[in-house]
Amino acid sequence: MKPLHFLQLVALSALWGASFLFIRIASPVLGPSVLAVLRIGLATITLALLLRLLHQRWPLAHWRELAVLGLLSVAVPFMLYAWAGLHLPSGYSALLNSTAVIFGLFSSSWLGEDHLTLRKVLGCLSGFAGVGLIVGLGPVQITTEVLLAAGACVLASACYGISAPLMKRAITRMQPIQIAAGLHALALLMLLPGAAWSWPQAVFTPHALAAVVVMGVLTSGLAYWLHLRIMVHVTPVAAMSPIFMIPVFGVVWGHLFLGESLGTGMFAGGFLVLVACALITGFDPWQEPLEAVDVTP
């Protein structure tokens, strides 16, 4: 992997890890629906401007494919994480996000792009055990809302995992900026009715709006496009590597800026989740991955 790609992946991890912090700030006052729509709306505007700047056209012919990707990788996860942010510390959400690799494995296997092995099955068991430790032994008191929020995070991660191989296929037919702009625009249309219903209850505080701007422009718009650009040039394992670092940044940001506690279950469960990701993907930090072939037109 080129040093530039590695630095970009680290920067992506820091941004995505911080997004869980911003969700905790904005969701309680804006509400999950309004937060998700504002975030996606700003991302859509940002990507539309980039689309025009790069002289690319909207991929209207691929709207059905982009609608599926928008539903799985943006609309559903953003809503679920925004709702989970009402009940879970940002570190919990960031750690549970790592289970996306588990679901990505099964999705890729089902589509014939990967094979199940004993090592990968053990990784899955380790991952689910880690989730149990995170939810059961951390500093948050176990309630029905906490369990439902943890389940929402896992479901959001499942959507990310299922969409990963589909996204890789889409890159062979469209430019990264076209994919990013198209799926965000369609995800915005999907969530607008719910946001309109919840709009009167939203409280637009300066801190919440600032958090939304950062999420919409940086962690959703620019970061999503950058990730798709990197996915073109590196191997699938390298493209998934931000997942290993996101929990670290998520926990650190939550502890530093929100004063969230770091319990024994957080460390033990987080360690098992990361071990699971390494077992499933065969991730080796000491081995330099091979460059993939650029297949974009």
**pLDDT by residue, tens only, the chain of 297 residues:** 455 656 677 777 778 878 888 998 999 999 999 999 999 999 999 999 999 999 999 999 999 999 999 999 999 999 999 999 998 887 788 778 878 877 877 787 787 766 777 887 787 788 778 777 776 666 677 889 989 999 999 999 999 888 888 888 899 899 999 999 999 999 999 999 999 999 999 999 999 999 999 999 999 999 999 888 877 776 554 566 566 667 667 667 777 777 777 666 767 877 887 787 677 666 555 455 434 333 333
Contact 247, 96 (CB under 8 A): no
| Residue-level pLDDT at 293 | 34
| Residue-level pLDDT at 234 | 62
- pLDDT tens profile 153-192: 999 999 988 888 888 889 989 999 999 999 999 999 999 9
| Residue-level pLDDT at 297 | 36
Contact 41, 216 (CB under 8 A): yes
Read off the pTM: 0.82
Name 245's Cβ contacts closer than 8 Å, sequence gap at least 6. Answer: 9, 10, 13, 14, 17
Q: The dihedral of CA 34, 40, 43, 45: what is its sign? A: negative
| Residue-level pLDDT at 290 | 39
| Residue-level pLDDT at 240 | 63
d(CA 250, CA 85): 13
